[in-house]
Amino acid sequence: MKIALFAGDGIGPEIMAEARRVLDALDLPGLVLFEGDVGGAAWRAHGHPLPPETLEMARAADAVLFGAVGDPECDSLERRLRPEQAILGLRRELDLFANLRPATMFEGLEDLSALRPEIARTIDLLIVRELNGDVYFGEKGTRTLPDGRRQGHDLMSYAEDEVRRIAHVAFRAAQGRKGRLTSVDKANVLETSQLWRDVVIDVAAGYPDVALTHLYVDNAAMQLVRDPGQFDVMVTGNLFGDILSDQASMCVGSIGLLASAALGAGRTRFGTRGLYEPIHGSAPDIAGRGIANPMAMILSLAMLLRHSLGREADARRIERAVARALADGVKAADLGGSADTRAIGDAVLARL
């Protein structure tokens, strides 16, 4: 088992250090770790945010644990040299097409949710968003009509195989959870969505243990705030998933708690190859002060163990330790507490 650790910029190295301590504590047999430079740090050391050495490491690994990239000192660089190109480049080069974003309410944090506490308490869902297709990648352009008006267009399209592979990821994820999958589309008006729905129904035949339902995206947005507890796994295209996953994030509270995975088609011996990272960025405003919340990073490690290494029990151990630490009042500044980065790492380790 090989894991590549890319800490990156800003708070990246600070939170990665705590995830690393948790990983070390698990003492996994046969584990090999690589450490590589990404982002502004890599640009300084090698002149590029995603140097060939780093990309090679990522290709050789079963999974990548990624901190965050982004550095205000790089803001004036041309686009291809900006730190953010590291994450975009890794997604592209590793063909990571499935974005998984869990949203779970932790005990004691209900008041931080944008929802009423009694509704917030019921949230325990996973959004599976397709990441490489849809309207973002279709043919696009702006033209001037004969009457002088300008018109923009972006083509929405999905090919069958693109829907099929994301559907498989979602069904497998549902099997590992409560066995319920909601596919979100707009099949009443969009051809792309009708094809999406047909393919998802077709794939469902291979997963008789998963209960599949369909929702139109406008209704899904409403249900997500009205009664989020009804959802287990939601699967949707790139555009709808972008919006719904941000909406779901804010239903559970702080950005310092939210982990994510980007999975590809590649298989490891025990699961799917992928890249795991907190959803937040490099937080330059608090970098270097040792006060960042490392929980999203530690929860990203849990996802890595679950999806790439097949170590569900270890993943749950970590998630329970984080939940207990929060329930015991161990909170960083982003949650209104005063625990520093290291103290949170200590608290999680003590509860493993």
Contacts 24+ apart (CB under 8 A), 303-307: 303/100, 303/102, 303/259, 303/260, 303/261, 303/276, 304/3, 304/63, 304/65, 304/261, 304/274, 304/276, 305/26, 306/176, 306/271, 307/63, 307/100, 307/261, 307/263, 307/271, 307/272, 307/274, 307/276
* Torsional sign, CA 342, 343, 344, 350: positive
Does residue 255 belong to the site contacting ligand NAI (CB under 6 A)? yes
Q: Does 331 qualify as catalytic in the annotation?
A: no
Which pair of structure tokens corresponds to residue 175?
């099997």
Identified catalytic residue from 37, 134, 186, 334: 186
Q: Does 136 qualify as catalytic in the annotation?
A: yes
Identified catalytic residue from 136, 178, 216, 346: 136
**Known binder of ligand: residue 329?**
no
One-letter amino acid for residue 115 of the chain: L
The partner in contact with residue 310, picked from Mg ion, ligand NAI, none with C-beta cut-offs of 5 to 8 angstroms by kind, is none
Identified catalytic residue from 24, 198, 218, 328: 218
**Known binder of ligand: residue 313?**
no
Does residue 334 belong to the site contacting ligand NAI (CB under 6 A)? yes
Binding mask 204-243 for ligand NAI (x = CB under 6 A): ----------------------------------------
Does residue 283 belong to the site contacting ligand NAI (CB under 6 A)? yes
The partner in contact with residue 105, picked from ligand NAI, Mg ion, none with C-beta cut-offs of 5 to 8 angstroms by kind, is none
**Known binder of ligand: residue 288?**
yes
Smallest CA-to-CA distance from 197 within 249, 143, 236, 147 is with 236
Binding mask 243-262 for Mg ion (x = CB under 5 A): ---x----------------
Q: Find the shortest distance in angstroms from Cβ 259 to ligand NAI.
A: 11
**Strands of 63-68's sheet in order across:** 32-36, 2-8, 63-68, 272-278, 259-267, 98-104, 124-130, 233-236, 180-185, 211-216
Q: Identify the residue among 54, 182, 282, 300 touching ligand NAI (CB under 6 A).
A: 282
Which pair of structure tokens corresponds to residue 338?
């005063």
Q: CB nearer to ligand NAI: give 109 or 217.
A: 109
The 10 Å CB-count burial string (b at 16+, else e) for 297-315 is bbbbbbbbbbbbbbbeebb
| Cα 166 from Cα 310, distance rounded (Å) | 19
Contacts 24+ apart (CB under 8 A), 217-225: 217/184, 217/185, 217/186, 217/244, 218/186, 220/182, 220/184, 220/244, 221/247, 224/248, 224/251, 225/115, 225/119, 225/251
Does residue 249 belong to the site contacting ligand NAI (CB under 6 A)? no
Q: CB nearer to ligand NAI: give 15 or 166.
A: 15
Find the binding residues for ligand NAI in span 73-132 (CB under 6 A). Answer: 84, 87
The partner in contact with residue 285, picked from ligand NAI, Mg ion, none with C-beta cut-offs of 5 to 8 angstroms by kind, is ligand NAI
Q: Does 246 qualify as catalytic in the annotation?
A: yes
Q: Identify the residue among 186, 280, 311, 317 touching ligand NAI (CB under 6 A).
A: 280
Q: Find the shortest distance in angstroms from Cβ 114 to ligand NAI.
A: 15
**Known binder of ligand: residue 242?**
yes
Binding site for Mg ion (CB under 5 A): 242, 246
Binding site for ligand NAI (CB under 6 A): 11, 68-70, 84, 87, 255-256, 277, 280-286, 292-293, 296, 332, 334
Q: Binding site for NAD(+): which residues?
A: 281-293
**Which residues are known catalytic residues?**
136, 186, 218, 242, 246
